[in-house]
A and B are shown apart, each in its own frame.
Chain A
Amino acid sequence: MLILRYLFYVLIFPGALFTVLVGWLLAGLDRKVIARMQRRIGPPVLQPVYDFFKLVGKENIIPAQANRTAYKMAPFISFVSLSVIMLFIPIFGFTAVNGVADLIVILYLITIPGVALIVGGSSSGSPYGAVGISREMVTMMSYELPFVLALLAVAKKAGGDVLVFNLTDIGEWQVMNGCMAFHWSMIPAALAFLLVIPAEVGTQPFDVAEAETEICEGPLCEYSGAPLAVFKLSTHMKMCVMSALFTALFFGGIRTGYVVTDVILFLAICVLVTLVCITTVHAVTARLRIQHLFKFYWKYVSVLALISLALVWLGA
């Protein structure tokens, strides 16, 4: 019975299937809304689903230069680690796997899809891949600092004098004291986190690693067929995971009492987060250059997060 329950968690809810579906939904909405913002009609909301199945049906070519094992494994490692992360993020009251994960674990698990993308791009042997992975890695270094600062601010706010890294405990704290986002000292951290999301997912203006127009999607340059489909799917899943993490950290105090309504409310906030920090930012900006991206995150976003951390330490 326990095994069946775990199987359900892992494969259906809130694991792989749920993440995939929500990811598709978010990606579809993102494309639709951005098109409306640009006065286009835009693709149907289900377009990412069609794209996925179209790509799966296409031929899969492995370049002669590639290290075949790493090349084939990378997309699946990315997919698997993303569906596992979802298990650890509490959906308001509901946590699939309790007491085994916390902020730092999540922080590290989230780097795994990035590493998988890098390994895949690197093992393809393509020069475009090489340029792409170098940019991906610099992007990772850029957003890591504000990300860490925002997480530590949340931990301090929820913990006071004791160490609280556990996401469930942070959720409980928010039930008692109101959502993080409603505490004024946490607003800069929330903003910093919102700015981290597009870089983590890799959308404009922070899509330097996959810049289609200059380096042919960088690490994905050589990918085709099913592995490409899985990598694209991972990007959509990342949207789901990041917005879910944001919701859990900053709006984790909402309880309706029923799992179904909890999940629907959770999804609504996720959609809102995606539309604000991915779609709107995408619609109004053009791609940055890699050195400007690094500067942006270390100079401005980090300062935002640092303000929050300092305020929390001063007792606000």
Chain B
Amino acid sequence: MIQHFPVLSVMVLFFSAFLIEIVGKKEILRNVIAFLAVTASLVMLACLIPSVMIDGQVISYWMGGWAPESGYAIGIGYEVDSLSLLFALLGITAYWLSCVYSFGYMKGKQNLGHYYTLFLMLAGASVGFFLTGDIFNMFIMMEIVTFSAVALTAANTDKLTAIEGAFKYLVNCSIGSSMMLAGIALLYMNCHTLNLAQLSAILPGSFNSTTLLAFALILTGFCVESAMIPFHPSFVDAHTVAPSSVSMILSGMVLKLGVYGIIRLSYIIFRVIDTSAIQVMLTLIGTVTMFIGVTMALAQHDFKRLLAFHSVSQLGYIIAAAGLCTTLGLNASLYHAVNHTLFKGLLFLCAGAVIHSTGTSDLDSLGGLSKRMPKTCICFVIGAFSISGLPPFNGFVSKWMIYQAVYEKAMQTGNFFYVVVTVTALVVSVMTLASFVKVLHSVFFGQLRKEHEDVKEVSPIMLIPMGIMSFLCIFTGIFYREFDRVFINSAVTSAFDNIDYVDGMMGDGYSVTYGLAGLTGGNLEFSYWNPYVWLSLFLMVFAAAVLVTLIMGRTTGRTLESGEDYDSAYGTGDLSVDFRGQTHESGDPEEKYAVFFSGEKAEYSHAGGSDLFWGFKYNWHRYYEVLQGLHSGSVNDYSIYAVIMISMLCIFMYIFMR
């Protein structure tokens, strides 16, 4: 029974997608079908955890029973090892949460039948992408993902920017998938098979210039999919304009397709990750990506655009760590991939809640929402601290592993490049914190805007997914050892040792005929602060501090809660504690600043949004001028960058790998 679960978990999503198109008009039926489909898929994949993750089995399934004939795989096969199951589970969890959130967020929008159809197509294709054992099938799934994502990005058809973003996304992904198709054609020409397991048995022994070009092209395809530099601008544009429930999927989940592809390709199929040229290349791409992503994010003043640039930056961390080819490095990379889906999903959902309540995502025109939307604020704080890597949230665990892995690599190889990577990663982390401080201040703290006085907290159906994600962020941060052992370790093992993967698909002993041997990545030894000790200490001291305040707070003075109290208590009507006076309503910016600097009367200054951190931006203005010029918003420019990058990758391969 259990070997049917992988294919069923994909089929149920696709089948329900068509079912929804039939009953699309009836809201309740539609929502029930969507929810049941995603839940069924989630449950089926969760049932695979014991046998795949814990026992280390590889589950294979041949479509239509077309098993390999005399060592050649002809039919399409599904193959689930720990690596694919990790990503598939991650994906379906994100889809489940996004689906629940959509019920609240998309309520009342038009064409919801199409929305859920496309949503389930996207979910099915992503899960299929992770579970399939056939490289052409992988390409097909990637195409379905691309086209559903494009259509979902443009779901707000009344917004012109949405259609423009979708178009850019389409062009960019088409470049990537064309490259991938060309690479697959070359592979088929050379190896006469499309099965991943068979390819990974044949390829390491027969490496020639054709397969090298194929590797370069397919790698480019996956780099596009994971929004590496310089393919990122159109993704950012699309993530900004899509509905938030979709942005969360696109940014948190769909980018992971590329990550999975790169890991599967370089660790298992081609096994080229043990050459130092590939390691340096992947780490270099990752490092540049994380740096440019975060510096661009610092300059943004749109909530969702800022988050989208942070996705680019975090993906840089993931790829840089994956390129190290050490057990700890890949462990860190996968852990960060999981964490990124959790906290970035959470942050996009918070952004969605803010947009849903206020109707805007411009940081310059928001403020003080923490009093109106306290639950969203708490979720956002958890997400923001997680992505900035503050202890004890999950981002800290994975980032800490990344630093350790990179610096260890530096020490082992004696290559100063990895030191630069470590420093960049640490500095990027503090910049991440900086830009989330900006969001926290501009959206949730600071002063409440007059027009947002009667903003309401979002409905529970939207808060539930946010709560679950916040919980998971804390859970994976504190119980990291257990989580790492069950989910991540087995995936790392299966990535390093592909003999089981080949034998599981092609029959026992197949790998022996090709003389395959597993990669070695060193031991997984990471010392990490013990969060239990720390947490218990923290709680103890905190309890002590609270006790002290309680005792002292009783005896000293009163706590005045508002300006009115102050006035009535002291009768000094002129001295207003309330900053939000009359002057700013005139809307004259000069007057606003004049009042602010002179400090008289009722002050009003937002001093948030794009105003924050000008001391930093002032020093970097030349860098920002260049970056601003490069992020022109024109898809023509973006395509040119893509072509340049593809040529560079191919040239790199031919120089260093032959």
Contact = CB atoms under 8 A, between A and B. Distances in A.
B608 A163 contact: no
Given A122-B441, A140-B434, A144-B426, A115 B390 contact: yes
Interface in A129-187: 130-131, 133-135, 137-138, 140-141, 144-145, 148-149, 152, 155-156, 159-163, 165-166
8 contacts: A65-B578, A67-B377, A100-B533, A109-B391, A118-B441, A127-B596, A134-B607, A134-B612
A95 interface: no
Nearest to B603: A127
B430 A144 contact: yes
A64 interface: yes
Interface of B: 368, 370-371, 374, 377, 385, 389-391, 396, 400, 403-404, 407-408, 411-412, 414, 416, 419, 422-423, 426-427, 430-431, 433-434, 437-438, 440-441, 444-448, 527, 529-530, 533-534, 536-538, 540-542, 544-546, 549, 552-553, 556-564, 566, 577-580, 596, 603-608, 611-616, 618-619
Nearest to B409: A163
A138 B616 contact: yes
Contacts of A107: 426
Contacts of B446: 122, 125, 130
A111 B390 contact: yes
Contacts of A10: 537, 540-541, 544
A163 B408 contact: yes
A294 interface: yes
A304 B113 CA distance: 62
Contact of B527 (A84, A137, A149, A166): A166
Going nearest first, the 6 A-B pairs with the smallest beta carbon separation are: A290-B615, A59-B557, A130-B607, A127-B605, A122-B445, A64-B562
Given A64-B562, A138-B616, 9 more contacts: A6-B536, A76-B549, A80-B541, A125-B446, A138-B615, A141-B427, A141-B616, A156-B419, A294-B616
Dominant SS at the B interface? helix
A309 B426 CA distance: 15
Contact of A56 (B438, B536, B552): B552
Contact of B396 (A63, A108, A144): A108
B421 to A, nearest CB: 11
Contact of B447 (A7, A79, A125): A125
Contacts of B411: 156, 159-163
B441 A152 contact: no
Contacts of A100: 529-530, 533-534
Given A127-B607, A163-B407, A291 B556 contact: no
A13 interface: no
Nearest to A169: B527
Nearest to A161: B411
Contacts of A101: 529
A58 B541 contact: no
A123 interface: yes
B370 A135 contact: no
A295 interface: yes
Contact of B423 (A60, A149, A159, A161): A149
Contact of B563 (A64, A70, A105): A64
B404 A104 contact: yes
A137 B546 contact: no
A84 B541 contact: yes
Contacts of A294: 615-616, 618-619
Given A79-B545, A104-B403, A119-B440, A225 B556 contact: yes
Contacts of B444: 67
Most buried by A among B577, B603, B616: B616
Nearest to B430: A144
A68 to B, nearest CB: 8
A105 B445 contact: no
Contact of B441 (A15, A130, A163): A130
B546 A70 contact: no
B533 A97 contact: yes
B541 A16 contact: yes
Contact of A144 (B427, B534, B619): B427
Interface in A267-316: 289-291, 293-295, 298, 309, 313
